[in-house]
Amino acid sequence: MATSAQLSRRSFTQLVGLGAGAALLPVQARGLEERMALRAGAWLEPAKLLPKDPQNLILLNSNENPYGPSPAAREAMIEAHSVACRYPDYHADLIHEKVAAYHGVTPDMVEVTCGSTEVLKVCAMAFLAPGKRLVVADPTFEAMARYAQLAGAEVVKVPCDAAWRHDLEAMAKAAQERPGLVYLCNPNNPTGTLVSRAAIEKFLARMPAESVALVDEAYFHFADDPGYGTLLGSVKAGAKVVVARTFSKIYGMAGLRLGYAVARRDLIERMRPHQVSESWNVMACAAALASLEDKEFVERNRRLNRDARAALAAAMRRRGRGFISSETNFVCVHVGGPVRPVINAFRERGISVGRPFARLDEHIRVSLGTPEEMEKFVAAFDGIVARA
């Protein structure tokens, strides 16, 4: 019989509401997140997998949706095979119009991109240059700072506060000098924390007129905090705000690479010349069009994620391990020592967790997987990390 200190398969399955039929994806991780986990400081360099990697590696490292696209999106992609020989202009026009209608804006306030990461790079190219400043939290998603460096801008990293949230007061002060771009990942990756819509609106009121705020809402759908909200209202009110969204997370389309920006028309016009021409594809556009209609699928994924997050938190509490309270599809767990040996130990057991992050010297970032995957993570955790 399972003890209270164990997270059994039955308890996790009951919490998440799934049977035992969900299979592990037979995939090896070779993407950016994995390369950065394996090699300190790596960005785009290739890296070989560790020699003892199993074929069916459990991927809890890149904040992906383990359940994949909705059935409607899968069907739409099958139908889109018939036009795979054509350029994606028509489908891109449709997704522009659909996203605009979905958010209550005009199509000229939307730009569809190859994942929301392209939004970050385009904004760096459009709004930054030598003599300008990017202000970011520390830690946050690192890609923004790298793109700013490519644009020749100064990067100012403002440490998160004691609760691992954006220190908006300090960021507002930093934004006054050589204003260019402020990046707010909300909820934040890798901490999983958020700041309220009211706090951000107050922050925006203090920004210099020359500054643009880029609000990355990749994890928007997972947040349950009642004070949280999208900044699309500020966009509609005319603020110098770019909201970035993605189909990678809640919609389970990380491998299809589709995202978009919503902003004032003049900001979109400044961004567009820096985008790769026709950076979308018909499969992704078809899947996205179907996904936006599938509200039931979104709510199901939110519930599955919420239950898995609560179950993991409960397991860590029983083990006396601290963690950062998360509003996303990942949790940062305190392991009580340097993280790289812990990451490698999980890898030896066939589980890939998040890479090391600045200021999180003793926390591993664990993406939420299926019930079976999370059971295996907790079992491995017990063999790797001593009880507090």
Domain of residue 24, CATH code = 3.90.1150.10
Same domain, 232 and 267: yes
Give ∠ CA 181-182-183 in degrees, rounded to 5. 120
Distance CA 372, CA 375 (A): 5
Last residue of a domain, one of 225, 260, 293: 293
Number of structural domains (the chain) is 2
pTM of the shown model: 0.87
- Give the SS3 label for residue 202: helix
* Bridge pairing between strands 179-185 and 212-216: parallel
Could you tell me if residue 1 is inside a domain?
A: no
Same domain, 248 and 115: yes
Question: What whole-number percentage of the chain has pLDDT above 90?
Answer: 80
Could you tell me if residue 3 is inside a domain?
A: no
pLDDT at 31: 54
Question: What whole-number percentage of the chain has pLDDT above 70?
Answer: 85
- Give the SS3 label for residue 333: strand
Same domain, 149 and 264: yes
Could you tell me if residue 79 is inside a domain?
A: yes
Same domain, 60 and 75: no
* Bridge pairing between strands 110-113 and 179-185: unpaired
Tell me: pLDDT of 16 over 90: no
Same domain, 162 and 305: no
* CB-CB contact of 193 with 187 (8 Å): yes
Same domain, 245 and 339: no
pLDDT at 259: 97
* Residue 130 CB partners (closer than 8 Å, separation 6+): 152, 153
Same domain, 326 and 280: no
Last residue of a domain, one of 255, 271, 293: 293
Domain of residue 127, CATH code = 3.40.640.10
Range of the domain at 197: 71-293
Last residue of a domain, one of 272, 293, 314: 293
Could you tell me if residue 306 is inside a domain?
A: yes
Band (pLDDT 50/70/90 cuts) for residue 33 is low
pLDDT at 9: 45
Same domain, 61 and 175: no
Could you tell me if residue 4 is inside a domain?
A: no
pLDDT at 220: 98
pLDDT digits 0-9 by tens, 47-106: 444 444 556 799 999 999 999 999 999 999 999 999 999 988 888 899 999 999 999 999
Cα atoms in the Cβ-side hemisphere of radius 13 Å centred on 223: 21
Same domain, 20 and 120: no
Could you tell me if residue 2 is inside a domain?
A: no
